[in-house]
A = this chain, B = another copy of it.
Amino acid sequence: MIPQYDIQLDDRGRLRHFLTIDGLSRRLLTEILDQAEGFAGVSEQRVKKVPLCRGKTVANLFFETSTRTRTTFELAAKRLSADVLNLNISLSATAKGETLLDTLRNLEAMHVDTFVVRHPDSGAAHFIARHVAPHVSVINAGDGRHAHPTQAMLDMFTIRRHKGRFSSLRVAIVGDILHSRVARSQILALNTLGTAEVRVIAPRTLLPADVRTLGAHVFHDLAEGIRDVDVVIMLRLQKERMRGALLPSEHEYFQLYGLTEERLQAARPDAIVMHPGPINRGVEMDSQVADGPRSVILQQVTYGIAVRMAVMAMAMGAPPRDAGEPQDE
């Protein structure tokens, strides 16, 4: 375990911050998945709410706009009965010259319990976690290219729900690995959970230099890489993150790496297709696949609420939730 990631755990080894998959044990990742299993039932109840975090305060600190991500965290917090503050903080005009740390100190002084942080710079969530008071938890909701760990965990939850044990699975991640904050987290999580084989499928220009050391087999050809996999994870083409001419055109990208029903035939007959959304239809995949019987893309959204409830409840020190107990209050 790399020492700088110890920051995520308290002195009894329980989750305090959730910043990255890096350094977290299989036991802890499994605990998150087990907790999420309990919360998945909450959203199916007539009363979609549990009182676990009543009287707690969650602040959504968004240094870049992401209505979609903010909405999932806001809903998860409200379904835990927490109070939610939405704070959109402009980086260009840091209000009245107040520094980031002064902003944090002020929110801590207001007894905010959890900061959900979205930031365009890699490492921002770590920086904040290193500086918060002992009673405060930080959850990374995406920092630059670095990590988006709740997204990775909802992917793991989706795979476990649909495919069972990781040790018998082949999983392929397809697309712009280089600019994706999710891909790195996914590879780490899959390996930590003991996945039989993790593959990445991408053009050379969209692969990070260290991809092999992360523990993934590299393929440049979709037809070859997809063969016999149980799970296909399509990444979103981060158009706005790409600089210069790494790709000739969206059309050519689709020709080479876009998922179609025909291409999907090479995978196992019961393979599932995942995507973090929002989909660029006709770029990463065609609509037939996105809306087809193997797509579990909308289930991912549903499970995302459960996983975020689990992570927030664990970080706020709520007692473990028994998946078997009656959910309705």
What is the interface size of chain A, counting residues whose CB is below 8 A from a CB of the partner?
Answer: 47
In angstroms, Cα B278 to Cα A47, docked, is: 37
B75 touches A57 (CB 8 A): yes
The reply to whether the CB of A248 lies closer than 8 angstroms to some CB of chain B is no
Which residue of the partner chain B has the closest CB to A90?
Answer: B67
* Chain B residues with CB under 8 A of A106: 68, 277-278, 298, 301
A6 to chain B, nearest CB (A): 26
Q: Which of B71, B98, B279 contacts A87, CB < 8 Å?
A: B71
The answer to whether A85 and B110 touch (CB under 8 A), given A48-B57, A55-B48, is no
B278 touches A98 (CB 8 A): yes
The reply to whether the CB of A96 lies closer than 8 angstroms to some CB of chain B is yes
Binary flags per residue of A55-73, CB closer than 8 Å to B gives 1, else 0: 1110000000001100110
The reply to whether the CB of A168 lies closer than 8 angstroms to some CB of chain B is no
What 5 additional pairs, Cβ within 8 angstroms, besides A75-B83, A98-B279?
Answer: A57-B75, A74-B85, A103-B278, A106-B298, A110-B301
A220 to chain B, nearest CB (A): 26
The answer to whether A48 and B111 touch (CB under 8 A), given A78-B83, A85-B71, A106-B298, is yes
Interfacial residues of chain A within 39-62, with CB under 8 A of chain B in the complex: 43-49, 54-57
A85 touches B95 (CB 8 A): no
B67 touches A95 (CB 8 A): yes
Which residue of the partner chain B has the closest CB to A74?
Answer: B85
The reply to whether the CB of A109 lies closer than 8 angstroms to some CB of chain B is yes
Which residue of the partner chain B has the closest CB to A236?
Answer: B96
* Chain B residues with CB under 8 A of A45: 55
A87 touches B67 (CB 8 A): yes
* Chain B residues with CB under 8 A of A25: none
Q: Which of B96, B277, B305 contacts A111, CB < 8 Å?
A: B305
Interface centre among A43, A47, A83, A95 (most CB of B within 10 A): A83
* Chain B residues with CB under 8 A of A75: 57, 83, 85, 110
A301 touches B109 (CB 8 A): yes
